[in-house]
Chain A
């Protein structure tokens, strides 16, 4: 009952100085909003990236151009060639290999245009990624060998160009060249680094020789015989590639090997750095918010010196005064925290809608964490002013002008 009455008193005094209270709260509001949105963005991005990697399959090894050697300059010269595929397929630990070239291009069907990613690859691509056709068929070894002008449309591309009508059998133009649509892929969303629904798959040979005129691959996806063969496969694949690239002992690789696990580890390294930066910013703004509360509470204590004297004169104990001011500080910080959480949620949601790329995820724990942080900050920054109030000498306080 007593506690309840003190809360009412605190609320009343805060209500009297509503604008000031709001200004004091602003720091905490912004701090908490920063914490909530920073954590949501971080968590969302993290989950998004992990989801992408997991879509790749744990038995995959990815080969990129350029060396990842830490010593010396990192060479970004392209080195992966279509011929490497043969060497890789000879490895005992390797089950399948999908070479990939990738470029953006415009796909036309009569008057309809669609910007899409064009992926040149072989028949292995669908199998390695367990990516299936919804209609028609995927590439065959013959399509690749003969460099046929055939294409398989991603789900979204087909929808944009053909709407509800089945696309298989029709002809589209890619970079001005006519292609027969042999199939449409299932709706998959994200696969590895790409949004495959917005992708058009054509034979590797067609892409390299007829469409883009390039010699080197973008990357090679290697599927090991099983997840447990990934480690030996890395060694074997590296040896095979060094052989086919004529790299002598002691020389650096001119390619980079990645597994899903390595990528995950790399990403978590990066997100850790981001987390530290974001948490520091959020922490600083909460500290600033705390200083704001302390400042306002100190002003309030000075301003109400006489009132404190009167309260003491009618029987308030020092502890009662301390409690009253602590409760005021807590109310400021808790309401600031709650408003901050709301603001953070709204901001996070808007951010996701505006950017359309950024994925966010707000865990319930984040909200609790932010609220607890805000309350702690409020109470900690309220302690000094409250102590000051409770230590006033009643006679001096009553005399204060």
Chain B
């Protein structure tokens, strides 16, 4: 579904150039659950913004469902975001003055799908918050707010759900609940890309991508052994891991830095 080839993103910070992404190649198939980890500044957020069609690469190609997104206009990008992509943010990013239901319905408004209260309610039901539809974000707990945000992300039934540290602002018990929702969405066929620096969160995915300095350093298929190791690990991210090859699970005895 996603086909990225030597994608580079360069930001101009005053006089100096920042290579946020440096020649990334990546394939993601429909129905995958991919975790992306890396230290801050490793380029994982930039990658997510590009995968989310919020931005265009400086060079390289990005195909989404066969469409060459790297050449899209702002208008086309907005459309693909609206129809095919759902975002979940660390800080929820709900609009505080409107109800949960109205928040969920924002993508429907921009999708010009007409009045679709039923769709909004359906999305809220999916995250178990239908009874809170009329509440404003300020009247909801952190976990509930993130569930509203997830409902907003899925209201248009996107093919790709992008989550940027979705549990970062939640305590671990609530975080588990949120991750359970992602699992259930995944089970229903959604493709999920989850950016995190917490190993136990990353362990949820079926595939683990680690980034450093704008490059993909590891791309591992999750196996039970790795998952257990990650969940035991107190490490924040995978430091260096040499010789990692695509799709190959690799124990991390020496690869785990502190």
Is B237's beta carbon under 8 Å from chain A?
A: no
In the complex, the answer to whether A2 meets B109 with C-beta atoms within 8 Å is yes
In the complex, the answer to whether A395 meets B109 with C-beta atoms within 8 Å is no
**Among A2, A6, A307, which residue has its beta carbon within 8 angstroms of that of B95?**
A307
**Among B52, B97, B110, which residue has its beta carbon within 8 angstroms of that of A311?**
B110
In the complex, the answer to whether B109 meets A312 with C-beta atoms within 8 Å is no
**Among A315, A319, A320, A398, which residue has its beta carbon within 8 angstroms of that of B89?**
A398
Contacts of A315 in B (CB 8 A): 78-79, 81-83, 107, 110-111, 156
**Among A5, A15, A395, which residue has its beta carbon within 8 angstroms of that of B54?**
A395
Is A280's beta carbon under 8 Å from chain B?
A: no
Is A359's beta carbon under 8 Å from chain B?
A: no
Which residues of B are in contact with A by a Cβ distance under 8 Å? 49, 52, 54-55, 74-75, 78-79, 81-83, 87, 89, 93, 95, 97-98, 106-107, 109-112, 114-115, 152, 156
Is A13's beta carbon under 8 Å from chain B?
A: yes
In the complex, the answer to whether A310 meets B93 with C-beta atoms within 8 Å is yes
A5 → chain B, closest Cβ, in Å?
5
**Among A16, A313, A317, A393, which residue has its beta carbon within 8 angstroms of that of B87?**
A313
Interface string of A308-330 (1 = CB under 8 A from B): 01111111111110000000000
Helix, strand, loop or mixed for chain A's interface?
helix
In the complex, the answer to whether A317 meets B54 with C-beta atoms within 8 Å is no
Cα–Cα, bound, A42→B54 (Å): 57
In the complex, the answer to whether B95 meets A394 with C-beta atoms within 8 Å is no
Q: Which of A44-81 contact B (CB under 8 A)?
A: none
In the complex, the answer to whether B97 meets A317 with C-beta atoms within 8 Å is no
**Among A9, A16, A311, A394, which residue has its beta carbon within 8 angstroms of that of B55?**
A394
Closest-by-CB residue of A relative to B106 is A314
B58 → chain A, closest Cβ, in Å?
13
Contacts of A307 in B (CB 8 A): 93, 95
Cα–Cα, bound, A310→B115 (Å): 21
B251 → chain A, closest Cβ, in Å?
36
Cα–Cα, bound, A310→B49 (Å): 12
Cα–Cα, bound, A6→B109 (Å): 8
Closest-by-CB residue of A relative to B98 is A12
Given contacts A314-B82, A315-B78, contact A398 B93 (CB under 8 A): yes
In the complex, the answer to whether A2 meets B87 with C-beta atoms within 8 Å is no
Contacts of A316 in B (CB 8 A): 78, 82, 110
Given contacts A13-B97, A310-B95, A398-B93, contact A317 B114 (CB under 8 A): no
Cα–Cα, bound, A399→B105 (Å): 23
A-B pairs with beta carbons under 8 Å apart, 7 shown:
A15-B97, A311-B106, A313-B52, A314-B152, A318-B75, A395-B54, A398-B93
Contacts of A398 in B (CB 8 A): 54, 89, 93
In the complex, the answer to whether A1 meets B82 with C-beta atoms within 8 Å is no
In the complex, the answer to whether B95 meets A314 with C-beta atoms within 8 Å is no
Closest-by-CB residue of A relative to B99 is A12
Q: Which of A253-309 contact B (CB under 8 A)?
A: 306-307, 309
In the complex, the answer to whether B78 meets A312 with C-beta atoms within 8 Å is yes
Cα–Cα, bound, A309→B97 (Å): 16
Query: Among the interface residues A5, A314, A320, which one has the most CB atoms of the partner chain B within 10 A?
Result: A314
Contacts of A311 in B (CB 8 A): 106, 110
Closest-by-CB residue of B relative to A393 is B55
Closest-by-CB residue of A relative to B74 is A318
Contacts of B109 in A (CB 8 A): 2, 5-6, 9
In the complex, the answer to whether B52 meets A317 with C-beta atoms within 8 Å is no
In the complex, the answer to whether A394 meets B54 with C-beta atoms within 8 Å is yes
Cα–Cα, bound, A319→B78 (Å): 11
Cα–Cα, bound, A82→B200 (Å): 115
Given contacts A1-B115, A395-B49, contact A314 B110 (CB under 8 A): yes
**Among B55, B75, B78, B95, which residue has its beta carbon within 8 angstroms of that of A395?**
B55
A105 → chain B, closest Cβ, in Å?
71
B117 → chain A, closest Cβ, in Å?
12
